[in-house]
Structure 1
Amino acid sequence: MSVHRLTELPELPARGRLIVSEGVLPPTRAAIQASSTNSRPDEGLVLWLGRNIENTSLVLACAIPRTTHDWGRVHVDEAAVGTAASAARAHGLGVIAQVHSHPGKDTRHSDGDDELVLLPYESMFSLVIADYGLGSVHPAGGAGLHQFQDGRWIKVANHDAFIVVPHLLGGGL
């Protein structure tokens, strides 16, 4: 299944990196996969919380906002994003990325994805996971990493812009 795309989606290198704590991935995947209506999978959405430090976006936690969803779309309203942003600020964090799923293998932003991200800002990241969240979260494995550059969304061409930091136990450094 291909996404609805009438406008050009440039593919360019990321400006900076998206570094994600490994502990954020299981609740992200679980929340996205839990999105369903009448026992049918639907697209899901999670907000990633963290800090932007120079050209690095560091993801430390996730928020699971109230969404409305149906086959082929997921929507989060301003109030739900505001609630997530307030919770993030209480811990010195902000909403720094959005993650959502698509029904098929096509993980490019659709035209609707470009328009519906609330309050995009320069260098913000958006990650799309295939197969209702069953696909890989890594761009090298098929996830679509996007970034807001120069007032528009682009698909990130370099997979090394996405880094997962593993849990290190027992002095593993």
Structure 2
Amino acid sequence: MKLTRRYADDARRKSRLPVRDLRGNFLITDSALDAAARLLPSYRGADGDHEGLVFLLGRETETLTIFTTALAPDADHGWGHVICDEAAVGSAARSARAHGLGILGQVHTHGRDATEHSIGDDTLIVMPFEGMLSIIAPWYGRVGLRPLKALGVHQFQDERWVLIHPASVRDRFRVIPDGIDLR
């Protein structure tokens, strides 16, 4: 999986992605979501905020994907781009496997309020797989990652990326609490 983002006026999407319902059910732990929210804005430089990227690690079955961990890979990042090369992806995959997990999705940021994939987001994710999620957080992730339906949730369906309808995200992508106290 490699993500390359570079903004240029001619690279912006001229038409919207199709909007579809989420296929499958997805859970993310409270702690993984909080970790991603902390890690994304940490991609910075002397020139200020940069786009950031975290991989979502977890386990999956035929009908359920559970994200348990957020991993910030080594990446070239700056205003308008974040690039994770194959060596960094390999390192992330080895780290995931060492914990019995796989790289099952990603979250990356855009520097403005846009939450839809750019053309680069569509084409430069290495080895997308059916059902994979790619989530866009606006404003370099500084506004948080909740509620999930406010983010740009994309899924790889039928060999292409589609934007997921917020109501479908609400119904099929849930946060698992770290603890429940019924006292």
- Distance of 1:105 and 1:7 partners within structure 2: 17
Q: How far is the alpha carbon of 1:6 from its aligned partner?
A: 3.2
Which deviations, in whole Å up to 9, do the C-alpha atoms of 1:38-68 show, x marking residues without a partner? 1410110000100111122100112110011
Q: How far is the alpha carbon of 1:7 from its aligned partner?
A: 5.3
- Distance of 2:20 and 2:159 partners within structure 1: 14
RMSD: 2.0
2:49 corresponds, among 19, 38, 41, to 41
Does 1:168 find its partner at 2:179?
Answer: yes
- Distance of 2:172 and 2:75 partners within structure 1: 28
| Aligned twin of 1:51 | 59
- Distance of 1:18 and 1:166 partners within structure 2: 14
| Aligned twin of 1:144 | 152
1:104 corresponds, among 112, 118, 122, to 112
| Aligned twin of 1:23 | 31
- Unpaired stretches in structure 1, ≥5 consecutive residues: none
User: Structure 1 residues 14 and 33 mapped into 2: Cα distance closer, same or farther (>3 Å)?
Assistant: same
The letter of the residue matching 2:177 is: P
Does 1:129 find its partner at 2:140?
Answer: no
Q: Matched residue of 1:122: which SS?
A: coil
Does 1:14 find its partner at 2:22?
Answer: yes
- Distance of 2:25 and 2:141 partners within structure 1: 22
Which deviations, in whole Å up to 9, do the C-alpha atoms of 1:126-157 show, x marking residues without a partner? 111111002342333x2110000011000011
Q: Matched residue of 2:83: which SS?
A: strand
Residues 37 and 144, structure 2, Cα contact 8 Å, conserved in 1 = no
The letter of the residue matching 1:139 is: L
TM-score (norm 2): 0.86
Counterparts of residues 115-126 of structure 1 (less than 5 Å): 115-126=123-134
Q: How far is the alpha carbon of 1:72 from its aligned partner?
A: 1.0
Residues 15 and 123, structure 1, Cα contact 8 Å, conserved in 2 = yes
Residues 136 and 143, structure 1, Cα contact 8 Å, conserved in 2 = no
Which deviations, in whole Å up to 9, do the C-alpha atoms of 1:9-66 show, x marking residues without a partner? 1100010122100001222112110111214101100001001111221001121100
Instruction: Write out the 4+ residue segments of structure 1 that deviate beyond 4 Å after TM superposition.
Output: none
| Aligned twin of 2:5 | none
Moved more, 122-131 or 34-43: 34-43
- Distance of 1:154 and 1:45 partners within structure 2: 19
TM-score (norm 1): 0.91
Moved more, 95-104 or 83-92: 83-92
The count of residues paired between Structure 1 and Structure 2 equals 171
